[in-house]
Amino acid sequence: YAAARQQLYSKGYFIELLACYEPSFRYMAEWWKQLYGESEGKDGIGIFPASLEYTADLHSMGQYVQDGPRTMFETVVSFQEPLNELKIPFQMGDYDGLNYLAGRGFSEVNDVAKKAVRKAHIEGGVPNIEISVSKRDEEGFAELICFFEFACGLSAYISGVNPFDQPGVEAYKKNMFRLLKLM
């Protein structure tokens, strides 16, 4: 993962979009942005970390990813087993025309969406990396944290920066404390 990111960066892809089809992944993505942003964004270089919550962001941000500038790549995190599978209910009257999906799990629909989006984005020139986790539970969460932390350090060292300092953060903190003392 670290090597793939750096190879894409060397080809001009300097924005990484971490995407997941699980709404509960939102805060993990926020943690990931903080980890990679402060570890790699130094000395005028680094991959800009951003995140997308699919399928919610498909219509708004999906347009930009599909037809925008070719400076970004996607890393899609998926879970092989859903934690709590919800089924699509049958609706009397079939007003939305989707009763053919009744009884199917939401994870099945998300898997189809993921395949369709991946195909469209790759065909449109957006490189994709997929990270598959066995289950969305405590063990899967721990695996992801260890994986991302190790890969972050390795990726930063490949790019030639120290992942363990944060000079940019220190600069604004010094200014903030100085200004607060003037209040």
Task: List pLDDT tens digits, range 135-172.
Answer: 889 999 999 999 999 999 999 999 999 999 988 888 88
State if pTM tops 0.95. Answer: no
Q: What is the pLDDT of residue 93?
A: 94
Q: What is the pLDDT of residue 17?
A: 98
Strands 72-81 and 15-20: parallel
Q: What is the pLDDT of residue 84?
A: 83
Instruction: Tell which residue, 64, 6, 54, 12, has the closest CA to residue 29.
Output: 54
173 flagged as catalytic: yes
Among candidate residues 59, 123, 138, 181, the one labeled active-site is: 59
Domains of the chain: 2-181 (3.40.50.10490)
Tens of pLDDT, residue by residue over 38-51, are 999 999 999 999 99
59 flagged as catalytic: yes
* Residues in the chain, pLDDT under 50: none
Q: What is the pLDDT of residue 167?
A: 85
Q: What is the pLDDT of residue 81?
A: 87
Q: How far is CA 151 from the centre of its chain?
A: 14
Among candidate residues 16, 22, 38, 74, the one labeled active-site is: 38
Give the helix ranges, DSSP H, for 41-166.
Answer: 60-67, 106-123, 138-159
Cα dihedral 144, 145, 147, 151 sign: positive
